[in-house]
């Protein structure tokens, strides 16, 4: 992954230049115990002692690390200057700040973006202590705009990894649709999909017990929740929420299957109509996605169609960014609810990857939700996953 890290660091330096931010300072320690989310993108390894990664808008890349991690830092071939220390990082950090004399220093905190909020409060206090006798304490600001651009806008290598994860997910779904039948429990279906994870050599995109989510019929709890002993019965909608991690990048796709009753040759009207409504909501949302549009505007399109069709609005965002983690990036396709902060008002940009996932409950049959993975381009948006355009019937 070192080549990817190098490309992401190059991207970050370009973003610093665009934003006219002199220096981006990442301050971490004992990252195995809970590291900054940005570290895999700009460094690629863990760090133990208090460590500082400095990226400047002039292109300098500086790593200040403990003596016993200095050689590992050099071997990344990402940081051209590696400075080691023994007792305290403060003198080396101050020396670099006085040399560079940055007017604007971005650090990793944010009220809105969890991925930009990697600087713990304790580390922030320590940084302030180190800088308290310098002019640089008053020059600190949030790095959230750097994160938003760097994490959100995927480079070609990242898109390639996401496409591979999506293809593997598609393959696992196809095998699963051949396997499932009435009388099986949610747990049996989940166990089978877990066996396919091992066969394909990939990991689940979120916690193992809840990935996949399998919802058999109307009694099944919807959300990232593990499967139960509920059995698939005729007349059930079976809903899947599933994704994988492959080459460190994720997929996230939802699919639905309907099991016919003995007297049915096709799904009942209410099931087919619900499927068509959700599919249309996705199509309209994707058609409207383009650079410069807010995530809230896209959410409104899908949400309003569901409501206008006579269904209650779904109580979650229409979509989220996708990448190295399943909920990636800053912006969402979401409503202006307090829990989402300002993230629904961020603008879509070319290179971002989003899920689009409206859904609804069909009384007596189960939950019907679809989820597609979509990339924003300069001309609009394109599906990275083949959308489910027809209801799978068994």
pLDDT digits (tens, 9 = 90+) for 164-198: 999 999 999 999 999 999 999 999 999 999 999 99
Q: Please check whether residues 244 and 106 belong to one and the same domain.
A: no
Q: Please check whether residues 16 and 161 belong to one and the same domain.
A: no
CATH number at residue 77: 3.40.350.10
Q: Please check whether residues 30 and 50 belong to one and the same domain.
A: yes
Is residue 72 predicted with pLDDT exceeding 90? yes
Q: Give the helix ranges, DSSP H, for 217-257.
A: none
Helix, strand, coil distribution of the chain in percent, nearest 5: 40, 25, 40
In terms of residues, how long is the chain? Answer: 394
pLDDT digits (tens, 9 = 90+) for 378-392: 999 999 989 999 999
Task: Give me the half-sphere count of Cα atoms (radius 13 Å) on the Cβ side of residue 15.
Answer: 20
pLDDT band at 214 (very low <50, low <70, confident <90, very high): very high
pLDDT of res. 385: 87
Q: Residue 390 and residue 269: Cα distance in Å, rounded?
A: 14
Q: How far is CA 217 from CA 204, 344, 366, 369, 382, in A?
A: 24, 32, 4, 13, 32
Q: Residue 194 and residue 188: Cα distance in Å, rounded?
A: 10
Q: Residue 96 and residue 2: Cα distance in Å, rounded?
A: 25
Angle (CA) 357-359-360 rounded to 5° is: 175
Cα 250 to its chain centre, rounded Å, is 8
DSSP 220: S
Tokens of 157: 């290598």
Q: How far is CA 14 from CA 8, 36, 97, 301, 350, in A?
A: 10, 21, 20, 34, 16
Angle (CA) 261-238-231 rounded to 5° is: 75
Q: Please check whether residues 103 and 160 belong to one and the same domain.
A: no
Q: Please check whether residues 67 and 175 belong to one and the same domain.
A: no
Among residues of the chain, what percentage have pLDDT more than 70? Answer: 100
pLDDT digits (tens, 9 = 90+) for 80-130: 999 999 999 999 999 999 999 999 999 999 999 999 999 999 999 999 999
The last residue of a domain, from among 116, 132, 151:
151
The last residue of a domain, from among 108, 126, 151:
151
Q: 244-246 and 203-204 as β-strands: parallel, antiparallel, unpaired?
A: antiparallel
- Whose tokens are 């597609």? That residue is 372
- pTM for the structure as a whole: 0.96
Is residue 377 predicted with pLDDT exceeding 80? yes
Q: How far is CA 6 from CA 16, 43, 242, 351, in A?
A: 15, 8, 31, 18
Q: Residue 315 and residue 76: Cα distance in Å, rounded?
A: 44
pLDDT digits (tens, 9 = 90+) for 353-364: 999 999 999 999
- Whose tokens are 């039948």? That residue is 181
pLDDT of res. 2: 76
Q: Please check whether residues 10 and 107 belong to one and the same domain.
A: yes
Q: Please check whether residues 223 and 296 belong to one and the same domain.
A: yes
Q: Please check whether residues 167 and 256 belong to one and the same domain.
A: yes
pLDDT band at 34 (very low <50, low <70, confident <90, very high): confident
Residue 84, H or E segment: strand 81-85
Q: Residue 334 and residue 299: Cα distance in Å, rounded?
A: 5
Among residues of the chain, what percentage have pLDDT more than 90? Answer: 97
pLDDT of res. 224: 82
Q: Please check whether residues 81 and 196 belong to one and the same domain.
A: no
Which stretches of 322-358 are assigned E, i.e. beta strand?
328-333, 353-356
pLDDT digits (tens, 9 = 90+) for 326-339: 999 899 999 999 99
Number of structural domains (the chain) is: 2
Q: Please check whether residues 120 and 195 belong to one and the same domain.
A: no
Mean of all residue pLDDT scores within the chain: 97
- Cβ(213)–Cβ(243) below 8 Å: no
Q: Residue 382 and residue 372: Cα distance in Å, rounded?
A: 10
Is residue 373 predicted with pLDDT exceeding 80? yes
Residue 252, H or E segment: none
Q: Which domain holds residue 264?
A: 156-393
């Amino acid at each position: 992954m070192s080549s990817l890290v190098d490309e992401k660091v190059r991207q970050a330096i370009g973003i610093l230049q665009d934003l006219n931010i002199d220096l981006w300072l990442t301050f971490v320690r004992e990252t195995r115990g809970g590291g900054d989310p940005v570290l895999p993108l700009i460094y690629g390894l863990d760090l133990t002692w208090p460590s500082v990664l400095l990226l400047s808008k002039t292109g300098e890349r500086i790593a200040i690390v403990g003596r016993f991690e200095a050689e590992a830092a050099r071997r990344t071939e990402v940081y051209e200057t590696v400075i080691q220390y023994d007792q305290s990082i403060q003198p080396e950090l101050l020396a670099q700040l006085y040399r560079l004399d940055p007017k604007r220093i971005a650090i990793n905190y944010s009220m809105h973006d969890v991925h930009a909020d990697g600087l713990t409060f304790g580390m922030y206090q320590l940084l302030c202590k180190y800088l308290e006798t310098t002019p640089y304490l008053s020059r600190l600001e949030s790095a959230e705009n750097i994160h938003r651009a760097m994490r959100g806008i995927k480079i070609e290598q990242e898109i390639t990894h996401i496409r591979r994860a999506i293809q593997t997910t598609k393959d696992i779904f196809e095998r699963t649709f051949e396997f499932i039948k009435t009388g099986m429990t949610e747990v049996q279906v989940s166990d089978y999909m877990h066996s396919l994870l091992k066969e394909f050599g990939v990991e689940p995109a979120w916690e193992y017990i809840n990935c996949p989510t399998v919802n058999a019929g109307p009694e099944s709890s919807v959300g990232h929740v593990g499967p139960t002993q509920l059995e698939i019965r005729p007349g059930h909608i079976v809903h899947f929420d599933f994704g994988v991690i492959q080459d460190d990048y994720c997929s996230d796709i939802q699919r639905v299957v309907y099991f016919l009753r003995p007297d049915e040759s096709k799904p009942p009207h209410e099931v087919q109509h619900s499927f068509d409504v959700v599919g249309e909501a996705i199509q309209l949302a994707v058609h409207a996605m383009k650079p410069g549009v807010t995530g809230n505007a896209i959410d409104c399109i899908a949400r309003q169609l569901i409501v206008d069709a006579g269904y209650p609005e779904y109580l979650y965002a229409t979509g989220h960014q996708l990448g190295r983690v399943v909920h990636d990036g800053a912006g969402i396709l979401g409503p202006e609810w307090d829990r989402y902060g300002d993230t629904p008002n961020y603008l879509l940009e070319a290179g971002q990857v989003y899920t689009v996932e409206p859904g609804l409950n069909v009384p007596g049959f189960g939950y019907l939700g679809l989820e597609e993975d979509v990339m924003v381009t300069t001309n609009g948006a394109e599906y990275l996953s083949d959308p489910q355009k027809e209801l799978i019937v068994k």
